[in-house]
Chain A
Amino acid sequence: MSHAAYYPPSGIYSDSYKKDMRIIKTRTQWVLSIASLVFLFALPYIPFVNSPYLLRLYIGVGITVIICLGLNILTGCCGQLNIGQSAFVMVGAFTSGLLNSHMGWPFWACVIPAGLASAFVGIIFGIPSVRLKGLYLALTTLGAQIILTWIALFGMPETAAGFSVAPIKLWNIVFDTPKKFFYVGMLFTVLMTFFAKNLMRTRPGRAFIAIRDNDRAAEAMGIDIFRYKLLAFSICTFYAGVAGSLLVHYMMWAQLESFTLQESIWYLVMIIVGGLGSIEGTIFGVIFITCLKELIFVVGPMAEGHLRFLPIGAGSGLLLVLIGGMAILFLIYEPRGLAHRWSLVKAYYRLWPFGY
């Protein structure tokens, strides 16, 4: 092992195209990646950070990361605003749940159909994106949220009432506790993060970015805008569908109330805070907002208990005020999100001790 391995270079230079295409470029990155995976694997057994409550939070973060990765590919990378992501999660959740409870399909047979069903619905609602942009497109995705919720409400009685879903099984192992489910959740999160990271280096990924930056210029360069916009919609909603499938098998319960417009807004806030168009940013955004929520769950009721002049519910409502305000502040002062802050930290580390 060379001495230089312990002192990362101030810049990374690739002398071949193959090297340039690598996601993990340095030995430090390799070490950190493997260490992260080992840490993830060991996490349910590390004392003080492995309570059922914390494990549930980690699983929640993992599933939300999948949902937000899809959303970030569509909104952050391809520039197509989607404020109905929660409805697409619902499509995947109910497809998987109904296949499991009515037809007895195991999770492993349900998860891909759930993603595909969601992607199919996503493509339908993505068709208007050919002609619509910005706020107008946002309204069509809002329409998706309303229409799909209405179908789930009145179209299928059991989706409104709720129904039980079997936990994930693999041979004799039943993933019905947070400790066991953690591994399934993290497996999907890591795989789908890796896929998303890779996607952005492929032809479609670059086409998405070209469309986001200037769709007319992209079209002039020969990019089939219709095809790539629909592809972005289908990938985004496929991610949502897979996450929905994971969610219902994790909760062992499927019901309409979990998929509200408010959830869709949270997902948008997460990718804005994390950094639009950034895979790392998505993870940062989800973790940041989750931590903030949990903090307010503790502080809110305490504040309400001590400050008697506050009306009932004011402490909990603080969450909405804080996170709404957070999104505004990030848009004003750090529109590139936490991902940009992370890149500054990395740059500082690489240039150290000669940073300026």
Chain B
Amino acid sequence: MKKRIFLSAVLLAATLTAFHSTDIFAEDAVKEVVVGNVSAMTGPTSATHMMCLSGSKDFLNYLNEKGGISGKLGTVKTKYLSYDSQYVATKAKDGFARLRDQGMIILTHCASGHSDALESDYEQAKIPLVTGSQGVASMWSDWCYGNYHSGVANMIRSWIVWQKGEWEKAGKPGGTLVLGTITTDEPFVPLSLWEINAFVKEQGVKLLTETIPKGTTDASPQLLRLKDGGARQIFVISSAPGAVVVLNSAKSMNLNIPMTQCAASTLGDVIALGGPELAEGYQGEYFYEPMSENPSLKASPGLELARKLWKANHGNDKPNDMYVNGILSGMIISESIRLALDTVPSDKLDGEALKKYGLDRISGFDGMGLTKPITYVTDDHIGPKSVRYWVVRKGYVEPVSDWMPTTTYRIPKK
């Protein structure tokens, strides 16, 4: 008899616990929506992709802790799920399928060529993508929304426009503006230089190009040729290790030509890898505020929040600029959910609703001052379309230009 009572009590307790865990007794059940991330957590771009992932995840978790994202018709919390694509297109597609099985309604990533393979998947599934860097396919898709300026092909173009402006301000010394670029043989390099000759011709400048092989420890011959060719500034298209090789070679030959970093690494990466002394005077392009805690600069509320989240989640690890990129993706996702919840109740929120009533309505959104206003319109989902150049001074970065518009060239769809 005692045994039967005991078993009945256990059963009752288990039933009550099960009911309780399903929120049946909760008065205001908050719906959970799944945000997916397919990124290369291993492979050559993992350092960058992991930072983007951490930023968006930490920001959305922070909102969850604050009670979720609320609109006029309800409140939702986000469940952040990620999948390692290993820098392989098939794995990226596997990951997408898995996240879709798990109920994903919006996808985010930091793009590279392998993740471009997802274009047909997210279009077919009607799941919008918010990306921290616009790959080629992303530029073609109506379902892709970039927090990024305008893609890697515009980095050198915007830099050329900047340099041309500075040269004209200086009274056009030398008669012709000669610029140089030094690249490594990494997969994104041809994209950076896509049809650049036509642009250079149109701008009336001369561009000298040099390549260093991956893994080399000396770029002196290439730098010497650029110097002999009369390059006034050099654009370095490389990840951080390649940039450090170029800077080391430039230092060893006392080369005083200013250099600017292209995609695949940030000034923060170069400072961390090569040290502040080597990086002194090195320039970089940003479409958001960098993480570097320069005591002489006032941070925007968005950047202060990013720094706070970094400290809370990553303790004493060295902060990375790409984290801000991820935070910005998280902000755009949350803003789109907030806007969509003004029209659609939380239980009806899906990919299509997020696109139509959320992302397509984003206008003048600057991520608490992290970037210049972002407005998405039909056929133009490019992010802020503004960049600012920064320079390394005594281990910190500081602006070396005002915010300026980027070029908006698009690699044509094949």
Tell me if A10 is interfacial: C-beta within 8 Å of chain B.
no
A320 neighbours in B (Cβ, 8 Å): 42
Of the stretches B90-98, B255-263, B336-344, the one at the interface is: B90-98
A301-B82 contact in complex given A161-B190, A260-B87, C-beta closer than 8 Å: yes
Of the stretches A107-115, A276-284, A309-317, the one at the interface is: A309-317
CB pair B317–A161 under 8 Å, yes or no, is: no
Within 8 A of B (CB), among A53-78: 53, 55-57, 60, 63
Tell me if A49 is interfacial: C-beta within 8 Å of chain B.
no
CB pair B88–A263 under 8 Å, yes or no, is: yes
Tell me if A33 is interfacial: C-beta within 8 Å of chain B.
no
A163 neighbours in B (Cβ, 8 Å): 414
Q: How far is the CA of A313 from the CA of B51 in the complex (A)?
A: 9
Distance between A258 CB and nearest chain B CB, rounded to angstroms: 4
Checking A51, A55, A257, A297 against B83 with a beta-carbon cut-off of 8 angstroms, the contacting residue is: A297
CB-CB contacts of A297-333 with B at 8 A, as 1s and 0s? 1001100000000011101110110000000000000
Tell me if B116 is interfacial: C-beta within 8 Å of chain A.
yes
Checking A178, A263, A316 against B84 with a beta-carbon cut-off of 8 angstroms, the contacting residue is: A316
Checking A153, A301, A315 against B187 with a beta-carbon cut-off of 8 angstroms, the contacting residue is: A153
A63 neighbours in B (Cβ, 8 Å): 90
Tell me if B100 is interfacial: C-beta within 8 Å of chain A.
yes
Tell me if A127 is interfacial: C-beta within 8 Å of chain B.
no
Q: Is the interface of A mostly helix, strand, loop or mixed?
A: helix
- Interface residue total, chain A, C-beta cutoff 8 A: 43
Of the stretches A187-195, A212-220, A247-255, A339-347, the one at the interface is: A247-255
Interface size class of B (residues with CB under 8 A): 35 or more
Nearest B residue to A60, CB-CB: B90
Within 8 A of B (CB), among A18-53: 51-53
Checking B41, B94, B112 against A257 with a beta-carbon cut-off of 8 angstroms, the contacting residue is: B112
A53-B94 contact in complex given A161-B411, A317-B42, C-beta closer than 8 Å: yes
Q: How far is the CA of A257 from the CA of B46 in the complex (A)?
A: 13
CB pair A313–B414 under 8 Å, yes or no, is: no
B414 neighbours in A (Cβ, 8 Å): 101, 158, 161, 163-164
A161 neighbours in B (Cβ, 8 Å): 113, 136, 190-191, 194, 411, 414
Tell me if A162 is interfacial: C-beta within 8 Å of chain B.
yes
Tell me if A154 is interfacial: C-beta within 8 Å of chain B.
yes
CB pair B42–A319 under 8 Å, yes or no, is: yes
A262-B89 contact in complex given A154-B190, A297-B84, C-beta closer than 8 Å: no
Distance between B17 CB and nearest chain A CB, rounded to angstroms: 22
B264 neighbours in A (Cβ, 8 Å): none
CB pair B185–A162 under 8 Å, yes or no, is: no
A312-B120 contact in complex given A56-B94, A154-B185, A251-B93, C-beta closer than 8 Å: no
CB pair A253–B94 under 8 Å, yes or no, is: no
Tell me if B178 is interfacial: C-beta within 8 Å of chain A.
no
A162-B51 contact in complex given A257-B187, A312-B317, C-beta closer than 8 Å: no
A297 neighbours in B (Cβ, 8 Å): 83-84
Tell me if B117 is interfacial: C-beta within 8 Å of chain A.
yes
Tell me if B243 is interfacial: C-beta within 8 Å of chain A.
no
Tell me if B129 is interfacial: C-beta within 8 Å of chain A.
no
A355 neighbours in B (Cβ, 8 Å): none
Checking B44, B84, B94, B119 against A319 with a beta-carbon cut-off of 8 angstroms, the contacting residue is: B84
Nearest B residue to A64, CB-CB: B90
Within 8 A of B (CB), among A143-191: 150, 153-154, 157-158, 160-164, 178
Q: How far is the CA of A255 from the CA of B84 in the complex (A)?
A: 18
CB-CB contacts of A250-291 with B at 8 A, as 1s and 0s? 111101111010110000000000000000000000000000
Q: How far is the CA of A69 from the CA of B83 in the complex (A)?
A: 28
Distance between B335 CB and nearest chain A CB, rounded to angstroms: 25
Q: How far is the CA of A178 from the CA of B50 in the complex (A)?
A: 28
CB-CB contacts of B265-307 with A at 8 A, as 1s and 0s? 0000000000000000000000000000000000000000000
Distance between B319 CB and nearest chain A CB, rounded to angstroms: 11
Nearest B residue to A159, CB-CB: B190
CB pair A255–B113 under 8 Å, yes or no, is: yes
Tell me if B189 is interfacial: C-beta within 8 Å of chain A.
yes
CB pair A253–B89 under 8 Å, yes or no, is: yes
CB pair A153–B98 under 8 Å, yes or no, is: no
Checking B46, B84, B87, B117 against A251 with a beta-carbon cut-off of 8 angstroms, the contacting residue is: B117
B93 neighbours in A (Cβ, 8 Å): 56, 251
A251-B89 contact in complex given A150-B185, A161-B136, A161-B191, C-beta closer than 8 Å: yes
Distance between A290 CB and nearest chain B CB, rounded to angstroms: 10
B43 neighbours in A (Cβ, 8 Å): 260, 262
Residues in chain A within 8 A of chain B (CB atoms): 51-53, 55-57, 60, 63, 101, 150, 153-154, 157-158, 160-164, 178, 247, 250-253, 255-258, 260, 262-263, 297, 300-301, 311-313, 315-317, 319-320
A-B CB proximity, top 6 nearest: A316-B41, A160-B190, A53-B98, A253-B117, A257-B113, A53-B97
Add 7 more A-B contacts to A56-B90, A160-B187, A262-B87 (CB < 8 A).
A52-B101, A153-B189, A164-B120, A251-B93, A253-B116, A253-B117, A256-B187
Residues in chain B within 8 A of chain A (CB atoms): 41-44, 46-47, 50-51, 54, 82-84, 86-91, 93-94, 97-98, 100-101, 112-114, 116-117, 119-120, 135-137, 185, 187, 189-191, 194, 314, 317, 411, 413-414
List 20 A-B pairs, Cβ < 8 Å. Answer: A53-B97, A56-B93, A153-B185, A153-B189, A154-B190, A157-B190, A161-B113, A161-B190, A164-B414, A251-B89, A251-B117, A253-B120, A255-B114, A257-B112, A258-B88, A258-B117, A260-B88, A311-B317, A312-B51, A313-B47
